[in-house]
Amino acid sequence: MSTTIYYISNILIIICLASSLLQTRYLFNINKFNNLSISFLATIQLFSILIAFGLLIYLFLISDFSFELVYLNSHSEKPLIYKLSGVWGNHEGSMLLWILILVLFNFFFSLFSFKRKIFQNLTVSVQSLMIFGFTLFILFLSNPFKLSENNYADGIGLNPILQDPLLAIHPPVLYLGYVGFSLVFSFAIAGLICKEIDKTWASIIKPWVFIAWSFLTAGIALGSFWAYYELGWGGYWFWDPVENASLMPWLAATALIHCVVVLEKKNTMQSWTIVLAIMTFSLSLIGTFLVRSGILNSVHTFASDPGRGLFILIFLFIVLFGSFFLFAIQSEKINKPDLSSLVSRSTGIQINNWLLMTILSVVFIGTMYPLATDLFLNQSLTVGPQYYAITITPLIIIFIFFMIFSPRLGWKESKLINLIMSMRFILISVLSLSFIISLYFDLFNLSEITIIFLSLILVFTSLKSGFRPSGKNTIIKSNLGQNIAHAGFGIFMIAVVSNAVYSKEKIYDAKVGDSLELSGYIFNFKKIEQVEGANFNSLKAYIDLEKEEKILDEFTPEIRFYSDPPTITSETSIIHKFFSDIYVVMNVPQNQQSVSVRLHIKPFMNILWFGVIMIILGGLITAFLKRTRIDEV
Amino acid sequence: MKKICLIFFLLISTNMSIAEENRAINLFKEVRCLVCQGQTIHESNAEMAEDLKEVIREKIDQGQTDGEIKSFLIEKYGNWIIMTPPFNGLTYLLWFVPLIILLFGIYFILSKKSHKV
């Protein structure tokens, strides 16, 4: 049985490899196979990988340990959902997932009928070239269907820190984002080859860019939320290299979606758009490279293999070199002049795009610098959160400033004074509101006040222009998505700053019966007991939350002891109140007498996630609301 | 009178220790736990982190400044142990490259726009 599956799955991968190679024919002008339609081959690509992926899921579900991957990453006693998520909780499986999403995007894109057929053919060809590369990679360097040489009675199991419902969906969502930009990249290459990067080009790619961007945002947010409650360090973003690796493509992608909008409206900024499309996808590849190569010192690097890193590096080199070479010889022919004046919306977008690039360079340098000094100067260095706070804060202030004003400027030319007059009511009310807020909450740090002040203006102006109907027949304005996302970003920034300022924490060495205190709350340590879980034993503490003599709720933080593989994890217990999270985490006991308990009060966490959800929603609305009718192209 | 003095003294000394404890916590957040993965000693309760916390508390008691304590740690364990990179020959690029990129972009956008007018 196992050997049958082994052969079937490898044959399926080879079928995908072959059909992808055939799909690349338009790149080389081979007219031999013109009777094979691209959608037919795309269907074969999709189904071969889909069935292979289904087989891999099946192997994990039935715990077939004759396959090495299942043996290394699963265990017969693991709950069903983690058997499933074990499929992509490892290198080989996640690469197969990566390919599945590549062929999925390729398939959907090949379904549409275009009048400019050559665009579609070339895009699918470039996309298939990538599918070919990655399929080759999994076939020879990272085959998920490798039979193990020994007979194992049971598997090693999935790293318990990854056994979490959120982390089961985090990789697929993130990959939908990363890989979504492969399609944008392919489309950019097709546009470069045809020398036709114009309004039509932008209107075709726009929904795809926004979908990919929304998934990337959601994927990062899920990871961040997971880190918040699973790692138990009280934070939601640690400027960890792997987090940075996903933030970099996001920053480039955010600049890209704005370029695509300008291109669609004004037929300018062609070079920007192309460079950003190439950059976003390359950074997605670098993200994969950084995570998968094991050169990072990080909690996330659960797969380490330099050989595979080398492959991604060569692949990346080909992508970068090839696309920039093409760009260099074609860029003169694609660029259209920018006719707008200095005070205009497109200037605002250009400035903010540059700010995004600057933030990206901060993240890039901050991540790479310690690696570089270590490698070339033999000096190790830590670039911690404070570096990012110092460098990014001033950039964010200017960024929000332009986010407020540029959407309210005309595309061609505007008078600043008119703009300020039209916003006078909001400006005055927000100014007084932030004055009251800063007095009431003792907020005297200039940059904090400025960010909160500007973010409030951003929220109000965005909401105002997003929901006020303009014409008689328009109920929903076409920029609804934009305004929701911008308002969401304002809300997010307010939450980030207030959270940083007002977070409180205290560490106690506590015994049963102790009453601990943090900002007016009393934590009564009632008892601690041993509990048996699905595939772990745990030490569970019961702590009552009390305020003003009333018991409000109960915390149940845990220390879990997993045996397959042997790992100890600390499970946080969080009570989400409207304005703040109260967060309790136990450390692994060092002695019999007491246990170290850490209490956190994290204000505005709900509001922070709400802001993120608004950002994602805004992206999805823009993707689906005003779709350009592709059949007219 | 003696009593009041004593209470006053106690108040001051407790206040001092709160300030010192805050200083200690701020320092803990700046010092990397060498055996953990990317955590500060503040976040960790590994043995090594606890030892370092004790060392830092002692140094504060001895009246050393934050700068002195950090230099001591850097000398003993290397630059790596301090979370925020220092500002010196090794890190000029780290701090200045973003600024140069920002200025270059502003110059680039403005010059492109003003040519047309």
Residues of B in contact with A590 (CB under 8 A): 45, 47
Q: Between A357, A381, A387, which is nearest B101 by CB?
A: A357
Residues of B in contact with A234 (CB under 8 A): 43
Predicted confidence at residue A173, as pLDDT, reads 95
Cβ atoms of residues A224 and A319 within 8 Å = no
Encoded tokens for A296: 């990072």
As a whole number, mean pLDDT of residues A594-610 equals 91
**pLDDT > 60? residue A296:** no
**pLDDT > 60? residue A524:** yes
Contact call for B85 and A238, based on CB within 8 A = no
Alpha carbon separation from A579 to A495, A602, A607, B23, B69 (Å, rounded): 10, 9, 8, 28, 38
As a whole number, mean pLDDT of residues A144-149 equals 89
How far B105 CA sits from the closest chain A CA (Å)?
A: 6
Residues of B in contact with A366 (CB under 8 A): 94
Predicted confidence at residue A145, as pLDDT, reads 93
How far A571 CA sits from the closest chain B CA (Å)?
A: 15
State how far Cα B43 lies from the chain centre.
14
**pLDDT > 50? residue A183:** yes
Q: Between B38, B94, B117, which is nearest A297 by CB?
A: B38
Predicted confidence at residue A293, as pLDDT, reads 59
If pLDDT is split at 50, 70 and 90, which confidence band does A305 have? low
Q: Which residue of A has its CA nearest to B50?
A: A590
Q: Which residue of B has its CA nearest to A373?
A: B90
Q: What are phi and psi of A518, to 5 degrees?
A: -155, 125
**pLDDT > 70? residue B10:** no
pLDDT over 70 percentage in chain A: 92
Q: Between B79, B83, B95, which is nearest A379 by CB?
A: B79
H or E segment at B85? none
What does the pLDDT look like over A74-116, one tens digit per residue?
Answer: 888 888 888 888 898 888 898 999 999 999 999 999 988 777 7
pLDDT, greater one: A535 or A214: A214
Predicted confidence at residue A629, as pLDDT, reads 39
- Number of separate helices (H) and strands (E) present in chain B: 4, 0
Residues of A in contact with B91 (CB under 8 A): 369, 381
- Whether omega for the bond prior to residue A207 falls within 30 degrees of 0, making it cis, is no
**pLDDT > 60? residue A246:** yes
Other residues' Cβ atoms within 10 Å of the Cβ of residue A344:
21
Calpha distance B90→A604 (Å, rounded): 38
- Residue partners of A124: CB distance under 8 A and separation at least 6: A23, A26, A38, A42, A106, A109, A110, A186
Q: Which amino acid is at A314?
A: I
**pLDDT > 80? residue A185:** yes
* Residues A146, A566, A163: CA angle, nearest 5 degrees: 70
- Residue partners of A331: CB distance under 8 A and separation at least 6: A270, A271, A274
Q: What are phi and psi of A323, to 5 degrees?
A: -70, -40
Calpha distance A195→A333 (Å, rounded): 7
What does the pLDDT look like over A353-362, one tens digit per residue?
Answer: 999 999 999 9
Interface mutation target, options A358, A586, A588, chain B, most CBs of B under 10 Å: A358
Sort A617 into a burial class: Cβ within 10 Å, 0-12 / 13-18 / 19+: middle
Contact call for B82 and A382, based on CB within 8 A = yes
pLDDT, chain A, mean = 86
